[in-house]
Amino acid sequence: MSHVNATLLLVDDDAMNRDALARRLTRSGYKVLRADGGVAALRMIRQNRIDAVLHDVMMPGLSGLD
C-alpha cells in the first residue's frame, strides 16, 4: 500500500509526543489524525477511514492494550 493517501491515527496522552510524531509523519506524506486517549480513538475510528493506528500502551482510562 502506498502511504501517500494513508490515514494514520496517533493515540497518546502526551501532547508533545503526539505533535512531534504527527509533524514527522505529515512531512512524509501521511494524513494524520490525533487522539488523546482510547475513548477518543474509538470515536475517531468509527467516524473516519483509518489505515493504521499508532498508540501508546500506558494511558489513563482505556489503555493501548485495552
- Over its length of 66 residues, how does the chain's per-residue pLDDT go in tens digits? 455 689 999 998 899 999 999 999 999 999 999 999 888 999 999 999 999 988 765 555 655 455
> Which pLDDT does position 6 carry in this prediction?
93
Q: Give the model's pLDDT for residue 38.
A: 84
The whole-number pLDDT of residue 60 equals 56
Task: Specify the pLDDT at position 7.
Answer: 95
Shortest CA distance to 54 belongs to which of 14, 5, 12? 12
Tell me what pLDDT residue 45 has.
94
Beta strands in the chain (DSSP E): 7-11, 31-35, 52-55
